[in-house]
Structure 1
Amino acid sequence: MILESNATIQIQKPVKEVFEGIVNPENMTKYFISESSGRLETGKEVIWKFPEFDDKFPVNEIKIDNNSSISFVWDPETVVKITLEKLPDNSTIVRVNENGKELNENNLKWALENSGGWANFLACMKAYLEYGIQLRKGAFDFMRIK
């Protein structure tokens, strides 16, 4: 059995704005990551840094379908796919799916944690894109306390 992590949200912005909110590091650093080596583009590799971790995370095998989907690998066992769906009111449904790990106790913990992580990603993106609020700012400082 293959495990997957899922999260979905509706954002009151057009698909094009939501897409740019994901692929453009100037936007992503306002609600998700602290640094990026570049824009998400098909075939490119970028490096992400999160404020709560010392490590840097390579993001590769990037595939982009403009204003429709973004997929990438940042964990060699999984693929992340983000799909965007335009609604009649010009808002966007954003779905995140990360899958690929075999069922075992450690991977079940991963699936639960990542589902929460992707829900947090979506909530932070919604707050930023709709209202300019940076929910992640200071939210995980406690993780750096030793």
Structure 2
Amino acid sequence: MSLGFRISGRIGKPVAEVFDAVVNPTKLSGYFTTIGGASAPLTTGTTVTWWGDVPVEVDEVTKDKRIVLRWDASVQEGEPAYKTRIEMNFEALDDGGTMVTIAESGWREGENGLEKSYLNCGGWTQMLCSMKAYLEYGINLREGFYRSEMRGERASETNL
């Protein structure tokens, strides 16, 4: 059995605008990958870089519906490398808003996998909150939020 989670949040914008805020590197860099940015648009079969040094493999992009990504799990020294899977689904709501659901799965059982899955769950929750503030109100919640940003350092895995 592998560890994973699922979170959801409503963004008060049309699905096309919300979807674009994830696949468009300029927009994604405005609220989520703020340190180092996003290197390229999310398109099926590519690998992009987030935060300047985190490779993200893009397995599937279905316009205004779904994005599937893979990236390296954080492992302890000596532990074999593996990837987790991120699935984002976008549902147009009757009120004109969008329900975004993000699921990440594939961590190995054990203390490290459990700890890292909890960290990423918090990170993806913050991503949804930041996207909502950015799209609905033009606010970047991540600006100056992390110690690394205050010191001008790159983001780390602990502040997804």
TM over 0.5, shorter chain: yes
Deviations 1:51-71 (A, max 9, x none): xxxxx0111143101100011
Q: Name the CA distance, whole Å, in 2 between partners of 1:132 and 1:84.
A: 21
Structure-1 residue corresponding to 2:112: 106
Structure-1 residue corresponding to 2:5: 5
Q: Name the CA distance, whole Å, in 2 between partners of 1:2 and 1:26.
A: 33
Deviations 1:58-108 (A, max 9, x none): 111431011000111122421100000111111100010010112111111
Structure-1 residue corresponding to 2:22: 22
Any runs of at least 4 consecutive aligned residues in structure 1 with deviations exceeding 6 A, and if so which? none
- Alpha-carbon shift at residue 143 of structure 1 (Å): 3.4
1:91-130 aligned at under 5 Å gives the runs 91-130=97-136
- Alpha-carbon shift at residue 42 of structure 1 (Å): 0.7
Structure-2 residue corresponding to 1:86: 92
Matched residue type, 2:25: P
- Alpha-carbon shift at residue 48 of structure 1 (Å): 1.2
Secondary structure of the structure 1 residue equivalent to 2:142:
coil
Q: With a CA cutoff of 8 Å and minimum separation of 6, indicate the structure with the bigger relative contact order.
A: 1
Aligned to 2:66, which of 66, 69, 74? 69
Structure-2 residue corresponding to 1:136: 142
Retained in 2: the 8 A contact 1:2–1:102? yes
Structure-2 residue corresponding to 1:59: 56
Q: Which runs of 5+ in 2 are unaligned?
A: 73-81, 154-160
- Alpha-carbon shift at residue 44 of structure 1 (Å): 1.2
Moved more, 12-21 or 61-70: 61-70
Q: Which runs of 5+ in 1 are unaligned?
A: 51-55
Retained in 1: the 8 A contact 2:43–2:58? no
Retained in 1: the 8 A contact 2:48–2:58? no
The alignment's TM-score, normalised by the length of structure 2, stands at 0.82
The alignment's TM-score, normalised by the length of structure 1, stands at 0.90
- Identity value in percent: 38
Deviations 1:107-143 (A, max 9, x none): 1111111111110000000000111000001111x13
